[in-house]
Every structure is written in C-alpha cells, then in structure tokens.
Amino acid sequence: MSIRIVIADDHQLFREGLQLILSSEPAWQVIAEVDNAEDLLTRVKTEQPELVMMDYRMPGGGSLSALEYIKKRYPEIKIIMLTGVQSRTLFAQMTACQADGILLKEMSADELKKAVQNVLLGKKVTSKGVAQELGSNAPDLTAREFQVLDLVLTGLNSAAIAQKLSLSSKTVENHRYSLMQKLGVKNTVELMHYASRHGLL
C-alpha cells in the first residue's frame, strides 16, 4: 500500500521538484499539490493522507495554524515543515505545534528522502541547521504569541486577528504587548524590522 502524500507550497517549480524526488520511491505517492493553507486543510479532510509536506510561508499566512489544526484533528498524519529561513523562534513554534519534521529547503534530495523515511517510522527529524538554532539563546514566545506574530506579519490588524483566532480584540492586544516586550520592540514597525532581521518575513 502506497504512502499518500500532500505537498503544500506556493512555488510551482519547488512543488514539481519535490514531487519528482518523492515519486522516485515506489512506495510513495503524491496525491495532491496545493499552494495555500486553506486548500491544504480541504485536501487533508477529503484525502486524509499519511504525510503532509508544508511550506512555512504561503500566501494568506496560516501555515502554523494549519499545522496545529491538522495535528489536533488528525494526529496520525505526519507533517514535515519546510522553510528557507533560520529562526529559533520559528523552529520552537513548529516544535510546539507538534511538527514531525522541520527541514531547510537547502537540503539535498537524498537528505530529504532519508528524513521522510525516518518521519514515516515515527521519528522526529530536523535539519542540522534547525538543531543548531534550537540550541541557541533566543526569546521564547508562547504558541499563541507566535500565532499573533505570524498574522501581524501578514498585515492583519488586531480586530482581524481576533476574528481569525476567535479571540477578543483585548486578548489579541495583550498577546501583541507581551510578544513585543519579549522581543524588545515598541511598535509594529520595529516588530517588522525584527522579523526581517531574523528571517521571519
């Protein structure tokens, strides 16, 4: 029986390359490709694959929310997060949201296949660069604070974030204040600069 895989990434060329690599293994079958988190959740619900390979940053944001949603409702589905940035804050939140693998896009095809094999065996897998970042010192944000940060970086205001996360505007403002205190910034502009310096944009 084939391992059914869904790929989520907003770059078509990367999706095609990933499909070629994965399809080289007879036991793996890419059953769907999507370019945003909303379509990913739809395909996961209808197809219920064994593995999802998801880019951290896609149009509209919500990749971490999608990761958390899938792991809560379909805990048997393995999820590998793919990213081109190196940020301990980001990696820590992926870990907190129970990602089974966190891989840097710079890895080779052989490294990718080995990582997928290990994840399917039930192991937690990270690229070497990810492991190094997780061992460094950096501000620790809660999962909710990072969700708010992620949505702020997509351009949403507190009211829109509150609606998206089913929270009150006051609660969102509290989370914004807390994460800015932890990151040592005073306003949204400085928050954007922090995100740019640390590869979160």
Domain with 174 in it: what CATH number? 1.10.10.10
Does residue 188 carry a pLDDT above 70?
yes
In this prediction, residue 131 carries a pLDDT of 64
The total domain count for the chain is: 2
Beta bridge partners of 55: 82
**Is there a single domain that holds both residue 128 and residue 163?**
no
The domain in which residue 47 lies consists of 3-134
| Cα radius of gyration rounded to whole Å, the chain | 17
pTM of the model: 0.69
Q: Can you give the pLDDT at residue 97? A: 84
Same domain as 179, residue 123: no
CATH number where 124 lies: 3.40.50.2300
Do 57 and 126 lie in one domain? The reply is: yes
Give the model's pLDDT for residue 148: 87
| 8 and 87 part of one domain | yes
What is the reported pLDDT for 191? 85
pLDDT of residue 118: 94
Q: Are residues 65 and 119 in the same domain?
A: yes
- Residue 126 pLDDT > 90: no
Q: Residues 60-76: pLDDT tens digits? A: 667 888 998 999 999 99
Residues 114 and 160 in one domain: no
Same domain, 55 and 27: yes
Do residues 158 and 106 share a domain?
A: no
**Closest C-alpha to 81, from 73, 72, 141, 71:** 71
Report residue 31's pLDDT band, with 50, 70 and 90 as the boundaries: very high
Check: CB of residue 43 under 8 Å from CB of residue 133: no
In this prediction, residue 199 carries a pLDDT of: 62
User: Greater confidence, 199 or 96?
Assistant: 96
**What's phi and psi for 165, nearest 5 deg?**
-100, 5
Q: Are residues 83 and 126 in the same domain?
A: yes
**pLDDT of 18 above 60:** yes
Give Cα separations from 64 to 17, 27, 95, 109 (angstroms): 23, 28, 10, 25
Q: Is 70 exposed, middle or buried (0-12, 13-18, 19+ CB in 10 A)?
A: buried
Contact assessment for residue 119 and residue 25, using Cβ atoms and an 8 Å cutoff: no
Residue 171 has pLDDT above 90, yes or no: yes
Q: For residues 101 and 177, state if they share a domain.
A: no
Among 84, 101, 134, identify where a domain stops: 134
Domain final residue, candidates 105, 134, 163: 134
Which amino acid, 146? F
Q: DSSP letters of 75-118?
A: TTSEEEEEES---HHHHHHHHHTT-SEEEETTS-HHHHHHHHHH
> Among the three residues 86, 109, 134, which one is the final residue of a domain in this structure?
134
The answer to whether residues 22 and 42 belong to one domain is yes
Query: Would you say residue 12 has pLDDT above 70?
Result: yes
Percent above pLDDT 90 for the chain? 50
Q: What is the mean pLDDT of residues 172-196?
A: 86
Each residue of 157-170: pLDDT tens digit? 999 999 988 899 99
Q: Is 102 found in the same domain as 151?
A: no
CA–CA separation, 103 vs 179, rounded Å?
25
